[in-house]
Amino acid sequence: MDILTQTEENYLKAVFKITENDEKVASTNAIAALMNTSPASVTDMLKRLAGKGFLNYEKHRGVNLSEHGNVLATNLVRKHRLWEVFLVKMLDFSWDKVHDIAEQLEHVQSDELVERLDLFLDRPQFDPHGDPIPDADGKMTMRKQILLSTLAPNNEAVLVGVQESAATFLQYLDKMRLSLGTQLKIIERFEYDGSVKIMLTGGEEITISHKVCENLFVQKTK
Amino acid sequence: MDILTQTEENYLKAVFKITENDEKVASTNAIAALMNTSPASVTDMLKRLAGKGFLNYEKHRGVNLSEHGNVLATNLVRKHRLWEVFLVKMLDFSWDKVHDIAEQLEHVQSDELVERLDLFLDRPQFDPHGDPIPDADGKMTMRKQILLSTLAPNNEAVLVGVQESAATFLQYLDKMRLSLGTQLKIIERFEYDGSVKIMLTGGEEITISHKVCENLFVQKTK
DNA sequence: AATTATTTTTAGACTGGCCTAAAATTTAGA
DNA sequence: TCTAAATTTTAGGCCAGTCTAAAAATAATT
């Protein structure tokens, strides 16, 4: 019986997001910060979700997803990203506007809907921010991408994803004419503040801050 | 400040549905029956929604929508029907499966989403069950449709809508090869039980019950 | 190692949305 | 018209999800 409330689903997603990279467990505080709620509320919910078998939880030790919880969370990510593709590709939304709407759409319950949407969109592998879309079995194709901040001068690369997807950041990229697929070459890295001068296709040269570099995923092309 | 919970929205829709035809007001019991809830719960909610200005409510008198509430409810109907069109036209769902999914999708909050969806679907005027879709200003094009049960023998007509949209009824129509746009001619009406023999395009003759006739909207063609 | 700072949990309370049972009101019938 | 039936509302309580404040546990610092 896998009928969770939207709130419960959001908690699972939060744990997923926090633990998907390095972290082994998600802390109460981290979850509270991510969800704009109080640590006390988080503790309550963690106990509920652990009781239902979606989380592994020991007092004061943080949580992570059980196998069952992981399936649920992955499916939510799949739905979220598929809807984002729909919004951008079909409804012509800009990539900085789709997150909030997809947050709502991802909670619609219908396996058949997801399957048909996936088919309609031609089984996309990446969402508008370059994030991989899990397939119906939870598998996703990973790219050998690196952060732009780790790339040495003279290398050439193509922008394939963003780490952060806050609207303000995406709008900044739009202004700079940086979009997924953009080819670029590292001209110079300034050690003083970590900013980097890059050349875009067409020869235009721009300088971007270290913070921006840390939020751009690229693949080396030469 | 028009942020309602999904439940509140569902109550407004229920009042809309009950009062859209003949009834001047919706009774507590009628709402409770439609929403599968108890009359006591309905009374609670009616007071809340009236307090927020969405309903006109006097004790023991039933309710109807305020101007404000009517705008909200109409917009919900618009969203519901647009999503149904999307599901059938774009995702190739059959018309008996879309209601429940649209019930969820209609609660997604984004005016821009609705506008873009409407445009994407080419501003449809009717949903897959033949119901009119309100435009952004709440106006809808009404057809001069009548119930098949009121049509006399020898008249020819085209099926343009269904009154009831329960899955079992729609599946029955599919089996009988009755779909929107189907041309038909009344051959004979049996007074005994109100059933009617009709001829479809192609010459096939079928007999349908009075109950079915009362749930089919047609337009006379001759 | 002892104390301080941080994190996490508990306790108690609030709202929304629901319930059942009982009271009040309206409607229908004799 | 007066009583019975049906409808509606009130009363009181439950659960999910949230909060603040305080207590407990863990981590950091001296």
- Residues on B contacting A at a C-beta cutoff of 8 Å: 87, 90-93, 97, 100-101, 104-105, 107-110, 112-113, 116-117, 120
Decide which of A65, A86, A105 is a domain's last residue: A65
- Sequence-distant (6+) residues with CB within 8 A of B57 are B46, B47, B49, B50, B63
Per-residue pLDDT, B211: 94
| Average pLDDT score over residue span B175-188 | 96
Number of domains composing chain A: 2
- Sequence-distant (6+) residues with CB within 8 A of A46 are A11, A28, A31, A55, A57, A63
Token output for A221: 């092309």
Decide which of B49, B65, B81 is a domain's last residue: B65
Of the residues B88, B104, B106, the best mutation for testing chain A's interface (the one with the most A CB atoms within 10 Å of its CB) is: B104
Higher pLDDT, A22 or B44: B44
Task: Give the count of beta carbons closer than 10 Å to the beta carbon of residue A22.
Answer: 6
- Sequence-distant (6+) residues with CB within 8 A of B110 are A100, A101, A104
Nearest CA distance, A29 vs chain B (angstrom): 28
Beta bridge partners of B188: B197
Q: What is the CATH number of the domain that holds A216?
A: 2.30.30.90
Higher pLDDT, B1 or A180: A180
Per-residue pLDDT, B181: 96
Provide the greatest CA pair distance for chain B: 58
- Whether B138 is in a domain gets the answer no
Look at phi and psi of residue A123 and say left if phi exceeds 0, alpha if psi is from -120 to 50, else beta.
left
Whether the CA torsion B80, A35, A42, A49 is positive or negative: it is positive
Q: Which residue has the tokens 């990510």?
A: A77
Per-residue pLDDT in tens (0 to 9) along chain A, 222 residues: 678 999 999 999 999 999 998 778 999 999 999 999 999 999 999 999 999 999 999 989 999 999 999 999 999 999 999 999 999 999 999 999 999 999 999 999 999 999 999 999 999 999 999 999 999 999 999 999 999 999 999 999 999 999 998 999 999 999 999 999 999 999 999 999 999 999 999 899 999 999 999 999 999 997
Per-residue pLDDT, A220: 96
| Nucleotide whose C1' lies closest to the alpha carbon of residue A40 | C9
Contacts of A112 in chain B (CB under 8 A): 93, 97
Angstrom distance (rounded) from CA B146 to CA B76: 25
- pLDDT at position B207 over 70: yes
| Nucleotide whose C1' lies closest to the alpha carbon of residue A5 | D16
Token output for A202: 């067409």
**Domain membership of residue B47 as a residue range:** 6-65
Token output for A36: 């704009």
- pLDDT at position B23 over 80: no
Spacing of A99 CA from C14 C1' in Å? 31
Per-residue pLDDT, B1: 58
Judge residue A83's burial from the number of C-beta atoms within 10 Å of its C-beta, 0-12 exposed, 13-18 middle, 19 or more buried. buried
| Average pLDDT score over residue span B167-185 | 96
Spacing of B191 CA from C5 C1' in Å? 88
- Whether B25 is in a domain gets the answer yes
- Whether B95 is in a domain gets the answer no
Q: What is the CATH number of the domain that holds B31?
A: 1.10.10.10
Say yes or no: ipTM exceeds 0.95.
Answer: no
- Whether B133 is in a domain gets the answer no
- Whether A210 is in a domain gets the answer yes
Contacts of A109 in chain B (CB under 8 A): 104
Decide which of B24, B46, B65 is a domain's last residue: B65
Mean pLDDT of chain B: 95
pLDDT tens sequence across B104-158: 999 999 999 999 999 999 999 999 999 999 999 999 999 999 999 999 999 999 9
Q: Which residue of B has its CA nearest to A104?
A: B108
Half-sphere exposure of B69 (CA within 13 A, CB side): 26
Nearest CA distance, B65 vs chain A (angstrom): 27
Contacts of B100 in chain A (CB under 8 A): 110
A40 touches strand D (CB under 7 A): yes
- Whether A53 is in a domain gets the answer yes
- Whether B115 is in a domain gets the answer no
Cβ < 7 Å from strand C, B residues 55-84 = 59-60
Residue B22 — pLDDT band, cuts 50, 70, 90? confident
Per-residue pLDDT, A92: 98
Per-residue pLDDT, A1: 60
- Whether A18 is in a domain gets the answer yes
Spacing of B32 CA from D7 C1' in Å? 12
